Amino acid sequence: MVEPVSAVLTGIALVTKSVEFVKKNISTCQDIGELIGHVENAFEGQKKVIKEREKSGADPFSTQEVAKEVINARLAQEALYEMKQLINLRFGHGTWEYILEERKKRIDKRKKAIKEARAKAIKKQQEIMEYVKWGFITIATVAFIGVSVGVTLKFFVTLSSPVYAHEVEYDDGSCLIYRPKYYLMCVNESRELADTQVYLDYLKNRSEWLEVEE
């Protein structure tokens, strides 16, 4: 059973712990699969050693820091070499190389899956943005058509409803607003004809009409 890896272990500690487990259990292991997890941990520990050498905050010119980093890197390399020899002796020459090859395949497969998932997410986001763009275009088009139709209808309604010269606030739409002369014309003919006659008489006798200034 593979022991859980502690997140607080340093890189060299993780490598050392993995190698120690392989040493203690190599003789009783019946299948290389029982050790794969610890082999992976050893490689992860080596990566942590490299990252610890590159971490910010450490003085690269400090003799103590440089010595510690170099020693840890060397110890990690030696520990992995020792693990390689133990596994090849137990399961046959070339087993370690097979493990490395399979590990690389898994890493490449994981990278490919991540890349494909990222590409899929980007494509989905682009599709959503395209839908949003066309949605805005559709709304703008519908709004423009609505405004155009409204203006057009208002124009034709205005043409069909001319403004009469006699229109006043108390105009109730009947012929009662006219004087008798025009009232009869309105009743017998139409308001339009009466209105036209009122206007013509106004132009003809403008000087006799009383104009009130507001």
CA distance 162 to 159: 6
The structure tokens 């120690």 sit at: 20
So where are the chain's domains?
A: 11-93, 163-214
Which of 9, 101, 90, 81 has the alpha carbon at shortest distance from 52?
A: 9
Catalogue the E-assigned strands of 71-184.
none
The structure tokens 């487990």 sit at: 21
Is the full-model pTM beyond 0.85? no
Q: How many residues does the chain have?
A: 214
The structure tokens 């104009």 sit at: 211
- pLDDT tens for each residue of 41-87: 888 888 888 777 666 455 555 566 667 777 888 888 888 888 888 88
Phi-psi region of 94 (alpha: psi -120 to 50; beta: other; left: phi over 0): left
Q: Quick one: how many helices (H) and strands (E) in the chain?
A: 6, 0
The structure tokens 């998932």 sit at: 117
Query: What six digits make up the tokens of 118?
Result: 């990222």
- pLDDT tens for each residue of 160-214: 554 444 445 556 667 767 777 788 888 788 878 888 888 787 777 655 545 444 4
